[in-house]
Structure 1
Amino acid sequence: MTLPPQRDSAGADLLFLREERLRMAQTLMFLAGRDMAEAVAPTLEELDLGRAHYRVLQVLAFSPDIPVSRLQDILGVTKQSLGRTLRELEVRGYLGAKPGRQDRRQRLLCLSPQGREVEARLFAVVRRHLMTAYREAGGTAVEGFRRVMRGMLSEHSRELLADDVAGRREGPHGA
């Protein structure tokens, strides 16, 4: 498969809206997702972790001290499915939990020091791939990529992202 030639200025024409360009974008997203999953697979296998574990570690790395219900919402999984994954991560000592400040029954999750180390190992793989691609593309393209990705988010995902950014400015979620 050959990629279409890149244009120097984004939006220089409307050719990017043609069907074949949109299909190519879909294909690129699919392949990039698959390749990133393949890149972290050896580390996951070495750690005897699955993709569900990895997704939980990722979310807790960028959004610590969140209630289980919020984690479930972000991941879009059932309580039962998430419960199994959380139990496995707890047994390994990768998770920490504390009661909520306002509702002591609420369980706020975060990564333990060991969990942060594991997540950092996994993120190092992703970071290398992103840095290579970002350097190759340049700053303008990276900003364009960010805008396209943000534009693809559902309203619900945009709200989750905005809440997460606001939470990092104000303090831990659930406080």
Structure 2
Amino acid sequence: MADVKTGYNPLFLREEELRQAMELLFFAYRDFTRVPDQILAKHGFGRAHHRVIYFVGREPGITVSELLRLLQITKQSLSRLLSQLVREGFIQQSPGAQDRRQRRLELTEQGRALERELSENQRRLIAAAYREAGAEAVEGFRRVMLGMIEEGDRRRFDRREGQPESGAGPRRLTR
């Protein structure tokens, strides 16, 4: 059904509307990663390092195999990234409690500080855009983004009283 104010009907997307959405994603990603890229460059890191730092910070105790599945990169690539991040003191590894062969990952204090620095500008950008767009647009954006990611990853964002699905999202290690 067409929007009364604009005459726009989202059920019939034209080529131009799809192209504009693609460009918006390109520009948004460019601006979203600009400041973190500058910070990462100071450490000799790239965006892959950022993703590892982000998800290890988001899910303390994540196993290497869980991180591999999440990032969908090769074992060799992740090994190279983790080796550097561990060697430089940003991530620590520990064996699993039940399975000693598992490697559980956690940010060090230095890693947490870097993750905060990398995420600060990104959180500000998202918060400002959300405030400007309003609650209905935020939910619409969420649904669009969910529609673009693989079905298996969507489960991370299932809502149960506003929280990530059990077993997804931030976890805390029990010691």
Same fold, judged at TM 0.5 (above)? yes
Does structure 1 residue 143 correspond to structure 2 residue 139? Answer: yes
| Alignment counterpart, residue 32 of structure 1, candidates 22, 28, 35 | 28
Distance change (3 Å), C-alpha of 1:96 and 1:61:
same
Q: How far apart, in 1, do the equivalents of 2:65 and 2:4 lie?
A: 44
Q: TM-score, normalised by structure 2?
A: 0.82
Aligned residues: 167
- Structure 2 distance, partners of 1:170, 1:111, is 13
The aligned residue for residue 167 of structure 1 is 167
Q: Between Structure 1 and Structure 2, which shows a larger proportion of helix residues?
A: 1
Counterpart of 2:149 in structure 1 is: 153
Aligned equivalents of 2:104, 2:6: Cα separation in 1: 43
Give the gaps of 5 or more residues in structure 2.
159-163
Identity between Structure 1 and Structure 2 (%): 45
Where in structure 1 are there 5+ consecutive unaligned residues? 1-6
Superposition TM-score, scaled by structure 1 size: 0.82
Q: Give the ranges of 4+ consecutive aligned residues of structure 1 lying more than 4 Å apart after TM superposition.
A: 7-12, 168-173
Check 1:8–1:46 CA distance in 2 against 1; reply closer, same or farther (3 A cut): farther
Q: 1:30 to 1:16 in 2, by over 3 A?
A: farther
Answer whether contact 1:16 1:22 (CA < 8 A) is retained.
no
Question: Per the alignment, in what secondary structure is the counterpart of residue 167 of structure 2?
Answer: helix
Of structures 1 and 2, the one with the larger relative CO (CA 8 A, separation 6+) is 1
Tell me how far apart the structure 1 counterparts of residues 7 and 87 of structure 2 sit (CA, whole Å): 51
Say what the alpha-carbon RMSD is for the aligned residues.
2.8
- Cα 1:38–1:16 change in 2 (3 A) is farther
1:3 — aligned with what? none
